[in-house]
Structure 1
């Protein structure tokens, strides 16, 4: 199947059901503005059609659901003042909100890599089905960004300080652990996904309850993939205790005071991340805990535009995605160097005509 620009996303209506296939397998189905501009109107059309009963979102190929947004293009645009740096985040967040408020059941098969923009295409939906191939992470602090696409809404609601831990460290969850963490609603082994899809598409006049029952029946049969304790089970006490800080400095102090091998490993991880990103991210999650999804996305849009105006986002993308030397030179280079005033600036209003209003 060719992946020309015309076919980077496939939109299908099957009887009373919609299917969207992210079709850039070579790019791990990374989301670009062109794709967003096809998906959003189609989803709106289906939502407004009284005959439509459900929709499925999935990725082409066997590696990824969606590995993120087309961040390189955004930073290239940002350098030259191109509108893409505004439009991409704006339209992506509007799509995330559509998914979060969708009036017909929305099912995401997060079979494979699901990061960044791919999280935004799944985690706000009614049903999120993980498989043993699912790899979930929000690794944005490593590129001078923050866990956006509504991460500020979802992560603080995962229970305890798990969301803050995942956001600051970019820790990767796999397979059943994505379900155990509360990111996926179900776990179905990957070789059963085609049959699950076929069964869902064959349902007559399904309601959310019927869809849930079908997915649960496939989940019950998914016994080829061994079950085990949540990978962070033995660390949850430490996560809840050590990542419970009002400030990033407190969290670092907690980790240093703890002195365990695990705490030292977390310090090592955090030391590689953008200090500015981590401070912005901690506040994003703290504020997001008390906001609804729309308010979070409006806040995150401000943050995205400040990233475009600041330095670390460009440097992180250069170090991780472009030159791949994995050696970003953050400005400022230390947590102590990031002033409260600078963090306040990230959260400050944009000119009225540039704000995202949902």
Structure 2
């Protein structure tokens, strides 16, 4: 048998593959074979033919950022006339609109704004929870948490995370991971911090009781070794969470996508569907301790998102009622609820709405029809 068959057989037998094995998979072009094995591994976690999704909204509360990532088309530097901080009332209105269409999750993210004090975040979260106790705040990236620490007048990282959690932050998304290796990070965003900084925030969140998501962005010119190290570091961190008995489930999901170079200050070859599907499959094979894998239809488009449901993904992610960061890079794929239901069914799956903790709220069988206001989704 060829090397890739040995590695895939090992994974199917329930044995872990190494970073070296992972690199060999990246160097192979047998994408369908890897996808088949990834799908089998997914079925161990989710034997039922259900694909979940969450009705959520992105709220980009500020675009002012002092990290200056080369790959980002969204941010504006401090002092820019195009910079903004959304008024609280606008944020409240966006949340109410989300609830009105059956939404349960708010992904509130922005830049690392040096002009906002730590109290801005805690006060805003308290006001949100006072008005909307039912909404799940799945918000802020590790880079934003580190900025909160910088402006917190000497609080430790753990105290910052505890206070923001107590104020109303329910879970932490994994934005800003990009590639968890410092060679690539220094090349694309030298001010954003090391891979260890990103992981420290995540593991601190796990210690204080918040679950998180892990992410990965490929297409920066990173090596197969760097990709393998990224996956290994995510897997090791999840092992550590379980071994220490921290009061959370660690990483609830893993999401990967491809770098979108349009309108950015970084030139790179735009990766295609095969690169994305290959990465999804290898990630599912490598990471054997995170239960959920999300499709990235926002960057790759709905049809590729549908394909990913046979390459290891069990979840279609969020409806993304509003999305500004990826669309700033020239990639805009808007899908309403009816389209999500159709795409999931076309993949041979049964669609089900979930919450941020992956509890199923509603299963849509063929006899059911969504009550969501599709016109609102399309307009936003």
> Greater helix percent: which structure?
1
TM-score using structure 1 length: 0.28
RCO higher in structure (CA 8 A, sep ≥6): 2
Give TM-score scaled by structure 2 length. Answer: 0.26
